[in-house]
Structure 1
Amino acid sequence: MDQFKPVSLFGDGTIHWYTVTNVTLWMAITVLAIVLLLVVGSRGRAMVPSKGQSIAELMYGFVYKMVEDVAGKDAIRYFPYIMTLFSFIVFANILGLLPLSFTTTSHIAVTGVLALLVFSFVTILGFVKNGSKFLALFWISSAPLAVRPLLAVIELISYFVRPVSHSIRLAGNMMAGHAVIKVFAGFAAIAAISPVSILAITAMYGLEILVAFIQAYVFTILTCVYLKDALHPVH
């Protein structure tokens, strides 16, 4: 599991919240890659788009359609935030597959902050937009009156568990895939089974590329679902 260990880039002392580590380095590289693609790569806005502009337009259209279909047309005003989330996660996942890189989204400290930001955003938005009516999200009016209080407690607990499941799902999947590849790589040194090990690594690497996109999609679509609950709090 050494591949997931934060390491200070300057010295070997204790890591503090302000220490520049391999985690912060690769988060900065992720942001730079996003800027290069979405800002620099598409600034020409040519009628015949370049490869970079085509990828940027595909990402834009994909996320825009997701927000519109899942959260509704009134959620489009929050599209920039959701687009930023998707871009950061998918780029961090893909860059983490490069040799000698670091997968920042394998750390719960990173995914946890992203999930808490989403949770805080939709909760505040829900109360700002709906006031006390936002609490209707926890009150199941279609259920028998006797069990509604119990269901309300269950719904309240599940609501506050959202950031936990939201963050662990992403971090767990990214960590698990990389750990499996590392295990197969360990067997590659054994001559008798090295061909099988190399084939397994290749297959897992292809699967991890797919998982990188799927996990970014899952995190983003759940954010859209939570946004829909905030804008239309009807259970």
Structure 2
Amino acid sequence: MAESAEGGLVFHPMDQFIVKPLFGEAGDPVGMLTLTNHTFWLALAVLSVVLLFVVGTRGRAIVPSRTQSVAELFYGFVYKMVEDVTGKDAIRYFPYIFTLFLFIFFANFLALIPMSYSPTSMIAVTAVLGFGVFFAVTILGFVKNGASFLGLFWVSSAPLALRPILAVIEVISYFVRPVSHSIRLAGNIMAGHAVLKVFAGFAAIGAVAPLAIFGIVGIFALEVLVAAIQAYVFTILTCVYLKDALHPHH
């Protein structure tokens, strides 16, 4: 929102990402057990998944209802992704990947509701997801392959003289994975919401209000795409990392 300050305009697009107590004043301290806007929208994303896949599909039938059809569409889409990218031997890890996709997808779309809060714009949330994937696939890689998992970093097809240099580059890029995995999601969601807030501030100015509203509609449409694409990107990268853990020599 725009404010008058010494004859100018002041925007605070980042204020929407402040964690505040859900009950009480905005300046009240936030403790470990404080119910905040952040925890509320996190819980709402989880509840949405439960309502769709547990409550909505409780009366499963050969001729599916609309809710069951939506749930089956999500299921089939992610199942095919895991199978195509990672292989049939990775299907046993499908529940974990499916849960990641659903949580990010619903959190992203719920954040598009006016006056809502975006949990996936917080690096604390996306870092937990990203590093969770990193540690899971790394441990799985060593459990499944033992020391031969280190072959992932040895580019045997390269000239022998270049292999040590490439190995160092591969190790660095491997440990950068969780950082890029988490920052990509948080950065895209945060940037889109900040731009929306800026356009909303300009919409309060009569002279440019029509253009600002047109911009809001365009950015919002783009954010709908970003919400879905970022859930897809996070999930497919998880599949790629899982494939490396299962088949380090491929």
| TM tier, smaller | over 0.9
For 2:21, the equivalent position in structure 1 comes to 8
Instruction: Output one character per residue of 1:75-124: Cα deviation in whole Å (capped at 9) or x when no partner.
Output: 00000000000000000000000011101000000000000100010000
Note the residue ranges of structure 2 that are not aligned, 5 or more in a row: 1-13
Secondary structure, in 3 states, of the residue corresponding to 2:161? helix
Q: Partners in 2 of 1:79 and 1:122 — Cα distance?
A: 13
Point out the more displaced range, 196-205 or 117-126.
Answer: 196-205
Point out the more displaced range, 6-15 or 180-189.
Answer: 6-15
Secondary structure, in 3 states, of the residue corresponding to 1:219? helix
Matched, 1:228 2:243: yes
Residue identity (%): 71
Q: Partners in 1 of 2:121 and 2:211 — Cα distance?
A: 27
The residue correspondences of 1:89-168 to structure 2 (distance < 5 A) are 89-168=104-183
Q: Partners in 1 of 2:200 and 2:35 — Cα distance?
A: 29
Q: Select which of 228, 241, 244 maps to 1:213.
A: 228
- TM-score after normalising by structure 2: 0.91
Once the two structures are TM-superposed, the CA of residue 145 in structure 1 deviates from its matched residue by: 1.4
The residue type paired with residue 42 of structure 1 is T
- TM-score after normalising by structure 1: 0.97
Matched, 1:184 2:199: yes
Matched, 1:84 2:119: no
Once the two structures are TM-superposed, the CA of residue 45 in structure 1 deviates from its matched residue by: 1.1
Q: Partners in 2 of 1:109 and 1:77 — Cα distance?
A: 28
Point out the more displaced range, 96-105 or 7-16.
Answer: 7-16
RMSD: 1.1
Once the two structures are TM-superposed, the CA of residue 9 in structure 1 deviates from its matched residue by: 2.5
Look at both structures and tell me which one has the larger radius of gyration over its CA atoms. Answer: 2
Instruction: Output one character per residue of 1:169-222: Cα deviation in whole Å (capped at 9) or x when no partner.
Output: 000000011111111111111112111111110111111111100000000000
Q: Partners in 1 of 2:153 and 2:32 — Cα distance?
A: 37
Point out the more displaced range, 107-116 or 16-25.
Answer: 16-25
For 2:7, the equivalent position in structure 1 comes to none
Q: Partners in 2 of 1:47 and 1:226 — Cα distance?
A: 36
Once the two structures are TM-superposed, the CA of residue 13 in structure 1 deviates from its matched residue by: 4.0
Q: Does the C-alpha gap of structure 1 residues 56 and 10 become closer, same or farther in structure 2, counting only changes over 3 Å?
A: same
Point out the more displaced range, 184-193 or 83-92.
Answer: 184-193
For 1:204, the equivalent position in structure 2 comes to 219
For 1:69, the equivalent position in structure 2 comes to 84
Q: Does the C-alpha gap of structure 1 residues 135 and 18 become closer, same or farther in structure 2, counting only changes over 3 Å?
A: farther
The residue type paired with residue 195 of structure 1 is P
Secondary structure, in 3 states, of the residue corresponding to 1:146? coil
Matched, 1:34 2:82: no
Once the two structures are TM-superposed, the CA of residue 16 in structure 1 deviates from its matched residue by: 3.7
Once the two structures are TM-superposed, the CA of residue 49 in structure 1 deviates from its matched residue by: 1.7
Secondary structure, in 3 states, of the residue corresponding to 1:214? helix
Kindly tell me the number of residue pairs found equivalent between the two proteins. Answer: 235
Note the residue ranges of structure 1 that are not aligned, 5 or more in a row: none
Matched, 1:49 2:59: no
